[in-house]
Chain A
C-alpha cells in the first residue's frame, strides 16, 4: 500500500513567489497533519485536519500561510508571498482518528528554499 505522498520533493523559489505543497494521505486515514522542520525550531505542527475539517491551525505562522483539504485524499499548504525565513522541510502526515494504532505516518517531506 502506498504511503503518504508529498510533492514536490524540492522547491527553490524567489522571495515573493507563491508556493504550493501537496499531500496525498494514506487511503482510509482521516487525520492529516502539516509539520515544518527547521534547525532552530525543530518539528512544529502547523495545522491538522480531522475528516477534512481544520481542527487546530494555531501553528500557522502568519496569514501568508493557508492550508486546505478539499477531500479525504488531498491537501495543500500554500505560502503567498514566500519569504526566506520560510525555508524549511515541510512534512505531511496522516493517521486514523481513533483506535489502537495512534501513530502518524509521514511523507518524505518537501524541502523549500526561498532565495
Chain B
C-alpha cells in the first residue's frame, strides 16, 4: 500500500522569504501523480501544484515549485516570496495513475507566515 509522510508538523517563514516543505512517499508503482493541496482556515482544499511521475521536469506555478526526486521518492514544495495569504495547512498527496485511484494524503504541515 502507498503511504505519504510529511515529517514537519509546523513550519514558519518570514514574509518575502522562501520556505520548503518536505514530503516523502512509498510506492511500488512507476506511474502516478503527486500533489500539494493548501487548506486555509476557511477549510477549502485548494490545489497548489501537480506533478506527473513520468515527467522529469519539476512543476512550477508562479511562486510555487517542487523538487521531485523519483528515485528518492521525495516531493518537496518550495514557496518563494512568501505572503501572508500563504499561511495554511499544506498537504502532500499521492494518486495512482491507474483509473479511479484514490488520493492518499500526508499528515499535513501547518505553515505560518510572520509579517
Contact = CB atoms under 8 A, between A and B. Distances in A.
Contact of A50 (B42, B100, B107): B100
A98 B95 contact: no
A91 B33 contact: no
A31 B103 CA distance: 11
Nearest to B95: A102
Contact of A103 (B43, B50, B100, B104): B50
Contact of B99 (A97, A103, A108): A97
A89 interface: yes
A30 to B, nearest CB: 9
Given A50-B100, A55-B100, A108 B105 contact: no
A106 B45 contact: yes
B50 A102 contact: yes
A45 B103 contact: yes
B100 A89 contact: no
A93 interface: yes
Contacts of B43: 89, 108-109, 111
A111 B33 CA distance: 29
Interface in B98-114: 99-100, 102-108
Contact of A91 (B35, B45, B104): B45
A53 to B, nearest CB: 10
A28 interface: no
Interface string B47-72: 10010100000000000000000000
- Sorted from nearest, which 10 A-B pairs have the closest CB atoms? A106-B45, A102-B33, A50-B100, A43-B105, A98-B99, A97-B99, A104-B103, A42-B107, A45-B102, A103-B47
